[in-house]
Chains A and B, each alone.
Chain A
């Protein structure tokens, strides 16, 4: 099974959720992302630091009136990484489905063993 495009950073469900949310947007407020993924400010900050360290997420800070705001957006690199990751996940699922269909077609004979590495 080809897992070469699986991004280790995005295997974490929380990081995948954050990146998936940002993928559908041009930008999103920090507070909205925090509430959407049910994290605390500090936990989201930590994840954002990890993602921005890899160049996946950009952070912009500013003020609206006197209130400080932080906006997050996915970089083109982050978008590409997510696309490759999703394609790799799709391949894994498709391959499993094919194996299952082949197994059914062969009358229940066990497929060639593929143990998890």
Chain B
């Protein structure tokens, strides 16, 4: 490319900028072992309600809370992320609003599903023996076996932060 790129060279360069941004977002894929650890932790946390006393069942919950906090803190530092197998930290302004909105919607839905039925007196699984264990197994297996697919879907939503805005580094024209 010379000092004055032709329109086709410019278009190609803009396309490359856009593709590189997607590549950076894709780099946030978690290693499989993290999904396995969290899947097992969620299973242990829920199953403990069926097999341990009320008092003892608090500890697995506490352990999962600590795991989540430590994981989040490690991801914020270069060395911590390297330990977790994350080679990059994606900038917030590179993530689309669609992704943020979906994340919040999923979070709110999860909270509502967990809190509303007991508050309304609806006890869907109360008669099912070992239902905590069953729910824990389902959630754990989903995370372990479908975690990668779920993250790919989330990453696809994350493409396109600042897209179309003036000066956006997205190669849109």
Across the two chains, which residue of chain B brings its CB closest to A31? B87
Closest A residue to B166 by CB, please name it: A87
Q: Tell whether, in the assembled complex, residue B17 and residue A28 are in contact, meaning their CB atoms are under 8 Å apart.
A: no
A36-64 near B? 1/0 per residue, CB < 8 Å: 10000000000000000000000010101
Main secondary structure of the interface of A (DSSP, over half): helix
CA distance A24 to B87 in the complex (A): 13
For chain B residues 1-40, which have a beta carbon within 8 Å of chain A?
Answer: 1-7, 10-11, 13-14, 16-17, 20-21, 23-25, 27
Whether the Cβ atoms of B78 and A116 lie closer than 8 Å is no
Check if B20 sits within 8 Å of A17, measured CB to CB.
Answer: yes
Asked whether, in the complex, the Cβ of A24 is within 8 Å of the Cβ of B25, the reply is: yes
11 interchain pairs (CB within 8 A)? Answer: A20-B169, A21-B21, A23-B24, A23-B94, A27-B88, A32-B88, A82-B17, A89-B173, A90-B172, A116-B4, A116-B6
User: Which residue numbers of A lie inside 8 Å of B, CB to CB?
Assistant: 1, 3, 6, 8, 11-13, 16-17, 20-21, 23-29, 31-32, 36, 60, 62, 64, 69, 71, 82-83, 86-87, 89-90, 92-97, 116-117
